[in-house]
Amino acid sequence: MISRSTIDQVFETARVEEVIGDFVQLKKSGSNFKGLSPFTDERTPSFMVSPVKQIWKDFSSGKGGNVVAFLMEHEHYSYPEAIRYLAKKYQIEIEETEQTDEEKLKADKRESLFLVSEYARDYFQEHLWESQGGRAIGQTYFKERGFTEETIRFFQLGYCGESWDEFSKTALEKGYQSEFLTGTGLSIARDDKEGEQRYIDRFRGRVIFPIHSMSGRVLGFGGRILDQNKKAAKYLNSPESDIYHKSKVLYGIYYAKKSIAKEDNCFLVEGYTDVIQFYQKGIENVVASSGTALTPEQVRLVSRLTKNITVLFDGDAAGQRAALRGVDLILEQGLAVKVCTFPEGQDPDSFARAHSLQDVQEYLAENTLDFIRFKAKLLMKEAGDDPMKRAATIQDMVNSIARIPSRIQQEIYVQECAGLMRISEQVLYSSLAQLQERKGRKSAEERSAAKVTQGMEVVHQDPKAEKVDQLYQLEKKIIEILLLYGNQTEEFQDLVYREDDKGEMVLTTEAHEAKVSQKIFLDLQEDEIELSDPDFQKIYTTLIERYQATEEFNWQDLMSMEDQELLSKISAIVMDDQRYNLHDWERKDIYPKEKGRGIGQLVKETILNFRCALIQQRIENLQKTTQSSQDHHHEVLEEIMGYMQLNQLLNTQLNRVLS
């Protein structure tokens, strides 16, 4: 287990804006940063990062928390994985506490798979540079592809020797368990003639391309065979595992992410060498689908960084057809897509190798077409003068336009398509409408049922719903005040009964100073009140205990706790006012009220309103009792009258007049 001191050091060192900036394009917004949500598909920023508070909040999905919570949400890390990632990023040495045998047995499987993969990457790299076969075969291949030594080392390329089991034997001798070697697909279990199990190297005789996650962890490998064995696949990828899902991974995304965000465009190619050659040439915003069909998950991975994709494919017919399939999928995900194909017989790798950076950039600028022009050019060439094929081509283009979520973009492309294909816009709109009608018909019943249900919910809405929500908001406000101002000493004005000169009890104002946390605690304890929301009650108890234990307590001291659900709720409360900054209200001469003004009055009003809400809830419950039963009717009415008088008194303190 990771020691508490290491965890504390990680939280003290890590900067939330730096870590999140590796995954999300952030722009300065006052003292904070804002960007597009990495968790939802949105077009206006709702994601806020606070360097001062060291927390983040995504207003579109409701997620939020500290730097560890982001890695757990975005990269699906466990808590220890996130701590290890940050320790590695900030070069913090991890101190481990001694584990029991039981704890060792429960060691995280995913982490073990990652460790095996990282060992394999280092082994293959070492084999490429140190072994005879690596130097003679592996290095020769990479250098023939035009890769420099610096590039080979940068992309962590490697080599696995011809031996059937050299890697597996070495890994087992190093103490790596066979279940994780086979779990990653690095080794394949086989029974020999004697019935004993042995382990075969999956990537033997291949040059190796490690495949990284966006955060840089090794997920799997791609291997290219170098001999002329026609029975073996030219390229071989790691099989699916708990850490490697090829449909959710893009080769090169780890190296390209910053450049993609900076350039606001992503070049999408087909293979490993295309990525490496472009990167070496100086074009870094490039990723590959690794020879597999493009998936929605891969497109969404890019959409976290940019909304613009340029698809680069080979100049042959097969490459262009592959481009069309990918284009429709990208459109469906709401991204802008352009296409560039290379001359016949060339691909991005060979073209970049044969030309200078300036030549490549000029070619891309001159030959990149938006998807509608590319599709029209390609399909009309195939259709020729055949009217039936021409009609089919137009329908194919309408099918693509129908995939675009934005109606405005659809209209622009319809106009462009009409001009290119010399056909009236009305015909295209009609065809588009028919397509959308057929598409919508399938789910019409479900939508209709949902509307009926929604309508019924509105008609039969519980009249208490608003009051329950009011109670929730007041409890949330109490937590917010405790988090932000719990240690502050403020002056409070309370109304209390005092005996006057005539011996009568009258209401008078009494001023006193107290800490905000102490004032709230004493007021709620006086009425024996507990918060109705269990998470709020848990946070409240934790805060009061911390404030009573130490005068130096700050809410940010909670940010290293492991309960991510509570952390998310705390972050949501602390960052709630930042939603106003997302919309630049000040430019519109609208100034939201700043926090920190009149804290004593804020505390008083919040507690009084909270008491009023609880009293009103109690009155309503008692009224229901009188309607359902005549038992003790008189006593219940007296109790109701007592609560109403108390409610009147509290509202007087709030300067409200009740009828």
Domain boundaries, the chain: 4-89, 108-244, 253-441, 465-582+595-653
Residue 297's contacts (CB-CB under 8 Å, 6 or more residues apart) are 245, 247, 248
List, in order, residues 6 or more apart from 410 with CB less than 8 Å away: 401, 402, 404, 432
Q: What is the pTM of this model?
A: 0.60
Are 486 and 577 spatial neighbours (Cβ–Cβ below 8 Å)? no
Q: How far apart are CA 174 and CA 296, in angstroms?
A: 39
Residue 170, SS3 per DSSP: helix
The answer to whether 629 and 637 are in contact (CB under 8 A) is no
Query: Cβ-count burial of 151 within 10 angstroms (0-12 exposed, 13-18 middle, 19+ buried)?
Result: middle
Helix (H, G, I), strand (E, B) or coil at 583: helix
589, amino acid identity: D
Pairing of strands 286-288, 266-269: parallel
What pLDDT score was predicted for residue 591?
45
CATH of domain 4-89: 3.90.580.10
What per-residue confidence (pLDDT) applies to 468?
A: 45
Class of domain 253-441: alpha beta
Residue 650: enclosing H or E segment and its boundaries?
Answer: helix 633-653
CA 205 – CA 228 distance, rounded (Å)? 11
- CA 626 to CA 634: how far, in whole Å? 9
Task: Round to whole Å and give the CA distance between 559 and 571.
Answer: 9
pLDDT per 10-residue tile (average), the chain, 659 residues: 83 89 87 86 84 84 86 80 89 76 60 92 96 93 95 96 93 92 93 81 95 89 83 85 89 90 89 95 92 82 86 72 75 86 89 94 92 76 73 80 78 80 77 73 54 46 48 85 84 68 66 81 77 84 79 70 74 68 48 59 81 77 65 63 66 56
Class of domain 108-244: alpha beta
Contacts of 503-508 with C-beta under 8 Å, sequence gap 24+, read: none
| Cβ 161 vs Cβ 204: under 8 Å | yes
Residues 6+ apart with CB under 8 A from 414: 401, 425, 428, 429, 432
- pLDDT (0 to 100) of residue 569: 78
Can you give the pLDDT at residue 444?
55
Yes or no: say if 141 and 178 are a contact pair by the CB < 8 Å rule.
Answer: no
Residue of 294, 255, 249 whose CA lies nearest to 276: 255
Q: How many whole angstroms separate alpha carbon 203 and alpha carbon 237?
A: 9
